[in-house]
Amino acid sequence: MASSLLQSVLTSQFEAALATLGLCVHAAPERVWNGNVARYPFSQAAFHALFFADVYLGLEPAALKPQPFHQAQPELFGDYEQMEDVEPVGVYTKEQIKLYLVFCREKAVAVLAAETEESLAAMARFGRPITRAETHLYNIRHIQHHAAQLILRLRQEADIDIPWIGSGWREAPTGT
C-alpha cells in the first residue's frame, strides 16, 4: 500500500473538495440553479466537475461507461457529451447531482485506499505526462476550481456564503 499519510491526505482533500461542491449544490436557490455560471448552467458546471472527478479516479477513460453506477443511470450520462469536443447541453436536477456526488465520494475513498506506491508512481493514461499521484492532485484542484465558480455565483446572485472546508467530509444541512 501507499504511505498511509499520503492516502489520508489525498482522501481528506478529495472529501473537502467534494463537500464544498456539495454545499454549493445544496445552497443554490432555484433561480441560481437555473442560471448560468459563465457560459453554462449552474447544474452543468457541477456535473462537469463530478464527471471528470469520476473519469480521473479511474485507470483510463474506457473504464468509465461500464461502471454499474453509469449503467444504472443512463439518463444522467446520456450520450457522454462531456467526452466529446462539443458544447454540453445537458442540465441536471439537484437530486441527480447529489446522487452523483455520493458516488464520486465513495469512489474516491475506495480508489485511494487501494493505491500503492507503485500505482501512484505509474504514469496516468489520460494523455497528460503525469503520474497517477499527480492526477489525484490535479483532480482535486479541478473540483475546487469549479466549486469556486459556483461559490462566486452564489455570493453574487443570492448573497449566499459557502464556508471553507479545510479537510475531510462535511454533510450539507438536511432539507433542500
Letter string b/e over residues 53-73, b meaning 16 or more CB atoms within 10 A of that residue's CB: bbbbbbeeeeebeeeebeeee
In this prediction the pTM is 0.95
pLDDT tens, position by position, 5-53: 999 999 999 999 999 999 999 999 999 999 999 899 999 999 999 999 9
Q: How many CB atoms lie within 10 A of CB 132?
A: 21
pLDDT of residue 174 exceeding 80? no
* Residue 1 contacts residue 152 (beta carbons within 8 Å): no
Give the pLDDT of residue 167. Answer: 95
For residue 73, how far is the Cα from the chain centroid? Answer: 17
Query: Is residue 145 classed exposed, middle or buried when 0-12, 13-18 and 19+ CB atoms within 10 A define those classes?
Result: exposed
- DSSP character at residue 37: E
* Residue 161 contacts residue 155 (beta carbons within 8 Å): yes
Instruction: Quote the CA–CA distance of 23 and 162 in Å, as a whole number.
Output: 7
> Domains in the chain, please, with CATH?
4-158 (1.20.120.450)
pLDDT tens, position by position, 142-165: 999 999 999 999 999 999 999 999
